[in-house]
A = this chain, B = another copy of it.
Amino acid sequence: MVREIGVGMLGYAFMGKAHSNAFIKMPRMMQQIPAIPKLVAIYGRTEPQVKAAAERFGYKRYYTDWRRLVQDAEVELVDNGLPNNLHKDPCIEAAERGKHILCEKPLAMNAKEAEEMYRAVEKAGVKHMVAFNYRFVPAIVLAKRLIERGVIGKVLQFRGAYLQDWIMDPSFPLVWRLRREVAGSGALGDLGSHVFDLARYLVGEVEAVMGLAKTFIEERPLPEDPSQKGRVTVDDAFISLVKFRNGAIGSVEATRFGAGCKNLLRVEIHGSEGTLVFNLERLNELELFERKGDAETQGYKRILVTEQAHPYIANWWPPGHIIGWEHTFVHEIHHFIDCIVNDKPVAPMGATFLDGLKNNQILDAVLRSAETGRWEQIP
Protein backbone atom coordinates (compact mmCIF):
# COMPACT_ATOMS: atom_id res chain seq x y z
CA MET A 1 0.00 0.00 0.00
CA VAL A 2 1.43 3.35 -1.04
CA ARG A 3 1.67 5.87 1.76
CA GLU A 4 0.42 9.44 1.51
CA ILE A 5 2.38 12.62 2.03
CA GLY A 6 0.72 15.81 3.20
CA VAL A 7 1.38 18.80 0.98
CA GLY A 8 1.06 22.46 1.83
CA MET A 9 1.24 24.87 -1.06
CA LEU A 10 2.26 28.51 -0.63
CA GLY A 11 0.83 30.53 -3.52
CA TYR A 12 -1.97 29.75 -5.96
CA ALA A 13 -1.03 31.75 -9.03
CA PHE A 14 1.32 30.69 -11.85
CA MET A 15 3.53 28.39 -9.82
CA GLY A 16 0.71 27.31 -7.55
CA LYS A 17 -1.18 26.07 -10.57
CA ALA A 18 1.83 24.36 -12.12
CA HIS A 19 2.81 22.61 -8.91
CA SER A 20 -0.74 21.60 -7.97
CA ASN A 21 -1.20 20.09 -11.40
CA ALA A 22 1.97 18.08 -10.81
CA PHE A 23 0.88 16.84 -7.38
CA ILE A 24 -2.38 15.64 -8.91
CA LYS A 25 -0.84 13.98 -11.95
CA MET A 26 2.14 12.33 -10.37
CA PRO A 27 0.43 9.39 -8.67
CA ARG A 28 -1.91 8.84 -11.60
CA MET A 29 0.71 8.82 -14.33
CA MET A 30 4.09 7.76 -12.97
CA GLN A 31 4.89 4.07 -12.99
CA GLN A 32 6.63 4.11 -9.63
CA ILE A 33 4.79 6.07 -6.95
CA PRO A 34 6.88 6.80 -3.85
CA ALA A 35 3.89 8.34 -2.05
CA ILE A 36 0.58 9.84 -2.98
CA PRO A 37 0.44 13.60 -2.39
CA LYS A 38 -2.40 14.51 -0.10
CA LEU A 39 -3.34 18.12 -0.83
CA VAL A 40 -3.71 19.40 2.69
CA ALA A 41 -3.63 23.16 2.47
CA ILE A 42 -2.96 26.10 0.23
CA TYR A 43 -2.06 29.64 1.20
CA GLY A 44 -2.84 32.95 -0.47
CA ARG A 45 -3.31 36.51 0.72
CA THR A 46 -6.73 37.12 -0.75
CA GLU A 47 -9.43 34.84 0.51
CA PRO A 48 -11.79 34.51 -2.46
CA GLN A 49 -8.97 33.52 -4.80
CA VAL A 50 -7.25 31.11 -2.46
CA LYS A 51 -10.59 29.54 -1.58
CA ALA A 52 -11.39 29.04 -5.25
CA ALA A 53 -7.96 27.56 -5.85
CA ALA A 54 -8.40 25.16 -2.94
CA GLU A 55 -11.66 23.97 -4.40
CA ARG A 56 -10.36 23.69 -7.92
CA PHE A 57 -7.27 21.69 -7.06
CA GLY A 58 -8.76 19.80 -4.15
CA TYR A 59 -6.86 21.16 -1.15
CA LYS A 60 -8.64 20.26 2.08
CA ARG A 61 -8.23 23.74 3.55
CA TYR A 62 -6.79 27.10 2.81
CA TYR A 63 -5.03 29.80 4.78
CA THR A 64 -4.54 33.50 4.34
CA ASP A 65 -1.65 33.46 6.80
CA TRP A 66 1.33 31.43 5.68
CA ARG A 67 2.38 30.79 9.26
CA ARG A 68 -0.70 28.71 9.82
CA LEU A 69 0.14 26.57 6.83
CA VAL A 70 3.67 25.85 7.93
CA GLN A 71 2.33 25.02 11.37
CA ASP A 72 -0.30 22.63 10.02
CA ALA A 73 0.51 19.24 11.53
CA GLU A 74 -0.82 17.36 8.52
CA VAL A 75 1.57 19.13 6.18
CA GLU A 76 4.82 17.23 5.69
CA LEU A 77 6.02 18.97 2.56
CA VAL A 78 5.87 22.72 2.15
CA ASP A 79 6.02 23.94 -1.42
CA ASN A 80 6.93 27.61 -1.56
CA GLY A 81 5.77 29.31 -4.77
CA LEU A 82 5.60 32.83 -3.33
CA PRO A 83 7.44 35.90 -4.62
CA ASN A 84 11.15 35.96 -3.91
CA ASN A 85 10.93 38.18 -0.83
CA LEU A 86 8.71 35.57 0.76
CA HIS A 87 11.04 32.67 0.35
CA LYS A 88 13.20 33.05 3.41
CA ASP A 89 10.87 33.34 6.35
CA PRO A 90 8.34 30.67 5.44
CA CYS A 91 11.11 28.24 4.47
CA ILE A 92 13.01 28.75 7.67
CA GLU A 93 9.94 28.48 9.83
CA ALA A 94 8.81 25.38 7.95
CA ALA A 95 12.23 23.82 8.43
CA GLU A 96 12.13 24.54 12.10
CA ARG A 97 8.89 22.64 12.27
CA GLY A 98 10.45 19.69 10.48
CA LYS A 99 8.73 20.15 7.14
CA HIS A 100 10.49 19.14 3.96
CA ILE A 101 10.73 22.06 1.60
CA LEU A 102 10.49 22.63 -2.11
CA CYS A 103 11.14 26.30 -2.86
CA GLU A 104 10.76 28.17 -6.12
CA LYS A 105 13.82 29.74 -7.71
CA PRO A 106 15.82 31.80 -7.16
CA LEU A 107 16.16 30.47 -3.65
CA ALA A 108 16.47 33.90 -2.06
CA MET A 109 16.76 37.63 -2.61
CA ASN A 110 20.52 37.32 -2.26
CA ALA A 111 23.24 34.97 -1.11
CA LYS A 112 23.05 36.18 2.45
CA GLU A 113 19.42 35.15 2.76
CA ALA A 114 20.12 31.92 0.90
CA GLU A 115 22.83 31.03 3.34
CA GLU A 116 20.50 31.51 6.28
CA MET A 117 17.98 29.29 4.60
CA TYR A 118 20.51 26.63 3.75
CA ARG A 119 21.74 26.57 7.36
CA ALA A 120 18.20 26.31 8.66
CA VAL A 121 17.23 23.32 6.54
CA GLU A 122 20.50 21.56 7.23
CA LYS A 123 20.12 22.14 10.92
CA ALA A 124 16.57 20.88 10.84
CA GLY A 125 17.62 17.81 8.89
CA VAL A 126 14.75 18.12 6.44
CA LYS A 127 14.91 17.43 2.72
CA HIS A 128 15.22 20.58 0.66
CA MET A 129 15.05 21.30 -3.01
CA VAL A 130 14.97 24.41 -5.18
CA ALA A 131 12.47 24.15 -8.02
CA PHE A 132 14.91 24.41 -10.89
CA ASN A 133 12.50 22.39 -12.95
CA TYR A 134 14.52 22.45 -16.17
CA ARG A 135 16.81 19.88 -14.62
CA PHE A 136 13.84 17.60 -15.13
CA VAL A 137 13.30 18.17 -18.84
CA PRO A 138 14.00 14.75 -20.40
CA ALA A 139 16.26 16.34 -23.02
CA ILE A 140 18.31 18.04 -20.31
CA VAL A 141 18.63 14.85 -18.32
CA LEU A 142 19.72 13.14 -21.52
CA ALA A 143 22.24 15.91 -22.14
CA LYS A 144 23.67 15.38 -18.68
CA ARG A 145 23.89 11.63 -19.26
CA LEU A 146 25.68 12.14 -22.55
CA ILE A 147 28.14 14.60 -21.03
CA GLU A 148 28.87 12.23 -18.17
CA ARG A 149 29.33 9.42 -20.63
CA GLY A 150 31.96 11.53 -22.40
CA VAL A 151 30.02 11.80 -25.65
CA ILE A 152 31.06 15.40 -26.20
CA GLY A 153 34.42 15.03 -24.45
CA LYS A 154 35.75 17.76 -22.22
CA VAL A 155 33.43 20.75 -22.09
CA LEU A 156 35.10 23.86 -23.52
CA GLN A 157 32.35 26.42 -24.03
CA PHE A 158 28.87 27.07 -22.69
CA ARG A 159 26.43 29.51 -24.22
CA GLY A 160 23.15 30.00 -22.42
CA ALA A 161 20.49 32.56 -23.21
CA TYR A 162 16.99 32.86 -21.84
CA LEU A 163 14.91 35.21 -23.99
CA GLN A 164 11.38 36.44 -23.39
CA ASP A 165 9.49 39.49 -24.56
CA TRP A 166 6.52 39.97 -22.25
CA ILE A 167 7.30 43.45 -20.91
CA MET A 168 8.28 45.17 -24.15
CA ASP A 169 5.18 47.29 -24.23
CA PRO A 170 5.96 50.52 -22.32
CA SER A 171 2.42 50.47 -20.93
CA PHE A 172 3.03 47.15 -19.23
CA PRO A 173 2.68 47.91 -15.49
CA LEU A 174 5.23 47.92 -12.73
CA VAL A 175 4.46 44.42 -11.40
CA TRP A 176 6.33 42.87 -8.49
CA ARG A 177 8.85 41.23 -10.78
CA LEU A 178 10.07 44.69 -11.79
CA ARG A 179 10.74 45.90 -8.26
CA ARG A 180 14.04 45.06 -6.58
CA GLU A 181 12.62 44.96 -3.07
CA VAL A 182 10.30 42.10 -3.99
CA ALA A 183 12.14 40.32 -6.79
CA GLY A 184 15.78 40.95 -5.92
CA SER A 185 16.62 41.35 -9.58
CA GLY A 186 14.90 41.23 -12.95
CA ALA A 187 15.70 39.02 -15.91
CA LEU A 188 18.74 37.95 -13.93
CA GLY A 189 16.97 36.26 -11.04
CA ASP A 190 13.87 35.22 -12.92
CA LEU A 191 15.45 33.78 -16.06
CA GLY A 192 19.19 33.95 -15.58
CA SER A 193 19.00 31.88 -12.41
CA HIS A 194 17.69 28.98 -14.53
CA VAL A 195 20.57 29.33 -16.99
CA PHE A 196 23.20 29.49 -14.29
CA ASP A 197 21.67 26.43 -12.64
CA LEU A 198 21.88 24.53 -15.92
CA ALA A 199 25.43 25.76 -16.37
CA ARG A 200 26.42 24.35 -12.99
CA TYR A 201 24.38 21.17 -13.57
CA LEU A 202 25.83 20.44 -16.98
CA VAL A 203 29.30 21.99 -16.91
CA GLY A 204 30.44 22.55 -13.32
CA GLU A 205 31.13 25.21 -10.76
CA VAL A 206 31.56 28.82 -11.77
CA GLU A 207 34.79 30.57 -10.82
CA ALA A 208 34.09 34.14 -11.83
CA VAL A 209 31.63 36.27 -13.76
CA MET A 210 31.65 39.61 -15.51
CA GLY A 211 28.25 41.16 -15.97
CA LEU A 212 26.46 43.86 -17.89
CA ALA A 213 22.90 44.82 -16.96
CA LYS A 214 20.45 47.15 -18.62
CA THR A 215 17.03 48.58 -17.96
CA PHE A 216 15.51 49.67 -21.27
CA ILE A 217 12.33 51.17 -19.87
CA GLU A 218 13.00 52.98 -16.64
CA GLU A 219 9.52 54.02 -15.59
CA ARG A 220 6.22 52.20 -15.87
CA PRO A 221 2.59 52.72 -14.86
CA LEU A 222 1.72 51.60 -11.36
CA PRO A 223 -0.61 48.58 -11.36
CA GLU A 224 -2.81 50.18 -8.73
CA ASP A 225 -2.99 53.52 -10.58
CA PRO A 226 -1.87 53.50 -14.20
CA SER A 227 -1.98 57.30 -14.36
CA GLN A 228 1.05 57.30 -12.07
CA LYS A 229 4.46 55.97 -12.93
CA GLY A 230 7.03 54.26 -10.77
CA ARG A 231 10.66 53.41 -11.21
CA VAL A 232 11.74 50.02 -12.56
CA THR A 233 14.48 48.96 -10.16
CA VAL A 234 15.62 45.74 -11.78
CA ASP A 235 17.42 44.75 -14.98
CA ASP A 236 15.41 44.21 -18.18
CA ALA A 237 18.35 42.30 -19.60
CA PHE A 238 21.79 41.16 -18.58
CA ILE A 239 24.71 39.52 -20.32
CA SER A 240 27.62 37.91 -18.53
CA LEU A 241 30.93 36.28 -19.27
CA VAL A 242 31.63 33.16 -17.27
CA LYS A 243 34.77 31.30 -16.28
CA PHE A 244 34.22 27.79 -14.99
CA ARG A 245 36.57 26.14 -12.51
CA ASN A 246 37.28 23.34 -14.96
CA GLY A 247 38.66 25.77 -17.52
CA ALA A 248 35.59 26.08 -19.71
CA ILE A 249 34.42 29.55 -20.65
CA GLY A 250 31.05 30.84 -21.67
CA SER A 251 28.31 33.38 -21.58
CA VAL A 252 25.00 33.52 -19.79
CA GLU A 253 22.37 36.07 -20.55
CA ALA A 254 18.69 36.76 -20.26
CA THR A 255 16.32 39.37 -21.49
CA ARG A 256 12.68 40.30 -21.33
CA PHE A 257 13.10 42.35 -24.51
CA GLY A 258 13.85 39.64 -27.06
CA ALA A 259 10.99 40.37 -29.44
CA GLY A 260 9.41 37.15 -30.69
CA CYS A 261 11.17 34.99 -28.11
CA LYS A 262 8.45 33.70 -25.86
CA ASN A 263 10.24 31.23 -23.65
CA LEU A 264 13.41 30.68 -25.60
CA LEU A 265 15.96 29.14 -23.28
CA ARG A 266 18.80 28.06 -25.52
CA VAL A 267 21.76 26.14 -24.22
CA GLU A 268 24.73 25.31 -26.42
CA ILE A 269 27.61 23.28 -25.05
CA HIS A 270 30.75 22.69 -27.08
CA GLY A 271 33.07 19.94 -25.97
CA SER A 272 36.28 18.56 -27.36
CA GLU A 273 34.35 15.74 -29.05
CA GLY A 274 31.00 17.23 -29.84
CA THR A 275 28.26 19.74 -29.21
CA LEU A 276 24.85 19.69 -27.54
CA VAL A 277 22.09 22.19 -28.26
CA PHE A 278 18.79 22.59 -26.43
CA ASN A 279 15.90 25.03 -26.86
CA LEU A 280 13.07 25.12 -24.34
CA GLU A 281 10.52 26.15 -26.96
CA ARG A 282 11.14 22.72 -28.48
CA LEU A 283 11.75 20.92 -25.23
CA ASN A 284 11.18 17.45 -26.66
CA GLU A 285 14.27 17.79 -28.82
CA LEU A 286 18.01 17.68 -28.22
CA GLU A 287 20.62 18.31 -30.86
CA LEU A 288 23.87 16.40 -30.76
CA PHE A 289 26.96 16.66 -32.92
CA GLU A 290 29.66 14.04 -32.56
CA ARG A 291 33.10 14.50 -34.09
CA LYS A 292 33.65 10.77 -34.28
CA GLY A 293 32.71 8.79 -37.37
CA ASP A 294 33.39 9.46 -40.99
CA ALA A 295 33.37 13.00 -42.30
CA GLU A 296 30.79 12.21 -44.96
CA THR A 297 27.94 11.61 -42.57
CA GLN A 298 28.76 13.87 -39.65
CA GLY A 299 26.11 16.36 -38.77
CA TYR A 300 23.87 17.76 -36.08
CA LYS A 301 21.46 15.09 -35.01
CA ARG A 302 18.01 16.13 -33.86
CA ILE A 303 17.04 13.63 -31.17
CA LEU A 304 13.33 13.51 -30.48
CA VAL A 305 13.51 12.77 -26.79
CA THR A 306 10.31 10.75 -26.62
CA GLU A 307 11.60 7.18 -26.68
CA GLN A 308 10.92 4.72 -23.90
CA ALA A 309 14.69 4.65 -23.36
CA HIS A 310 14.75 8.37 -22.65
CA PRO A 311 14.57 9.83 -19.14
CA TYR A 312 11.05 9.83 -17.66
CA ILE A 313 9.37 9.05 -20.97
CA ALA A 314 8.33 5.52 -20.07
CA ASN A 315 5.82 7.17 -17.74
CA TRP A 316 4.13 8.97 -20.56
CA TRP A 317 3.27 8.26 -24.17
CA PRO A 318 4.59 6.42 -27.22
CA PRO A 319 7.45 7.89 -29.29
CA GLY A 320 6.69 11.20 -30.92
CA HIS A 321 3.73 11.98 -28.66
CA ILE A 322 5.32 15.03 -27.15
CA ILE A 323 5.08 16.23 -23.59
CA GLY A 324 4.82 19.84 -22.46
CA TRP A 325 6.39 22.31 -20.11
CA GLU A 326 4.18 21.26 -17.20
CA HIS A 327 5.57 17.73 -17.23
CA THR A 328 8.85 18.94 -15.79
CA PHE A 329 7.06 19.63 -12.52
CA VAL A 330 5.65 16.14 -12.36
CA HIS A 331 9.17 14.75 -12.65
CA GLU A 332 10.44 17.26 -10.14
CA ILE A 333 7.96 16.57 -7.38
CA HIS A 334 8.25 12.85 -8.07
CA HIS A 335 11.96 13.11 -7.42
CA PHE A 336 11.56 15.18 -4.30
CA ILE A 337 8.91 12.95 -2.77
CA ASP A 338 10.99 9.92 -3.65
CA CYS A 339 13.92 11.50 -1.80
CA ILE A 340 11.75 12.25 1.21
CA VAL A 341 10.02 8.90 1.43
CA ASN A 342 13.01 6.76 0.60
CA ASP A 343 15.62 9.00 2.16
CA LYS A 344 17.57 9.52 -1.03
CA PRO A 345 19.87 12.45 -1.74
CA VAL A 346 18.20 15.27 -3.62
CA ALA A 347 21.42 16.13 -5.45
CA PRO A 348 22.87 15.80 -7.97
CA MET A 349 19.63 15.16 -9.88
CA GLY A 350 17.78 17.93 -8.10
CA ALA A 351 19.02 21.26 -6.82
CA THR A 352 19.37 21.45 -3.05
CA PHE A 353 19.37 24.66 -1.03
CA LEU A 354 23.16 24.46 -1.32
CA ASP A 355 22.75 24.65 -5.07
CA GLY A 356 20.32 27.47 -4.51
CA LEU A 357 22.88 29.26 -2.38
CA LYS A 358 25.59 28.86 -5.01
CA ASN A 359 23.13 30.10 -7.58
CA ASN A 360 22.39 33.20 -5.52
CA GLN A 361 26.10 33.80 -5.08
CA ILE A 362 26.49 33.91 -8.84
CA LEU A 363 23.52 36.24 -9.25
CA ASP A 364 24.97 38.58 -6.63
CA ALA A 365 28.33 38.52 -8.38
CA VAL A 366 26.78 39.42 -11.72
CA LEU A 367 25.04 42.42 -10.16
CA ARG A 368 28.20 43.52 -8.36
CA SER A 369 30.23 43.11 -11.51
CA ALA A 370 27.73 45.17 -13.48
CA GLU A 371 28.46 47.98 -11.05
CA THR A 372 32.20 47.58 -10.58
CA GLY A 373 32.98 46.80 -14.21
CA ARG A 374 35.26 44.00 -13.08
CA TRP A 375 35.32 40.26 -12.81
CA GLU A 376 33.81 39.03 -9.59
CA GLN A 377 34.92 35.78 -8.04
CA ILE A 378 32.40 33.23 -6.80
CA PRO A 379 33.21 32.11 -3.22
Contact = CB atoms under 8 A, between A and B. Distances in A.
A236 B3 CA distance: 46
Contact of A322 (B17, B28, B29, B281): B281
A175 interface: no
A180 interface: no
Q: How many copies does the complex hold?
A: 4
Contacts of A319: 164, 166, 262-263
B317 A168 contact: no
A99 to B, nearest CB: 24
Contact of A253 (B28, B251, B296, B298): B251
A86 interface: no
A222 interface: no
A205 interface: no
Chain A: interface residue count, which band?
35 or more
Nearest to A170: B272
A288 interface: yes
A232 B239 CA distance: 29
A18 B315 CA distance: 12
A221 B142 CA distance: 33
A177 B249 CA distance: 22
Contacts of A299: 260, 288, 301-304
Given A264-B320, A301-B301, A304-B262, A257 B270 contact: yes
Given A259-B275, A270-B258, A296-B310, A322 B320 contact: no
Interface stretch (A68-76, A90-98, A153-161): A153-161
A283 interface: yes
A212 B207 CA distance: 14
Contact of A249 (B151, B163, B237, B318): B237
Interface string A260-282: 11111000001111110000111
B28 A168 contact: no
Contacts of A159: 161, 253
A151 B257 CA distance: 16
Contacts of A253: 159, 251
20 contacts: A25-B25, A157-B237, A212-B241, A259-B270, A259-B273, A259-B274, A260-B274, A260-B291, A260-B300, A261-B275, A262-B306, A262-B307, A297-B301, A298-B303, A298-B307, A299-B301, A299-B304, A300-B301, A323-B326, A373-B374
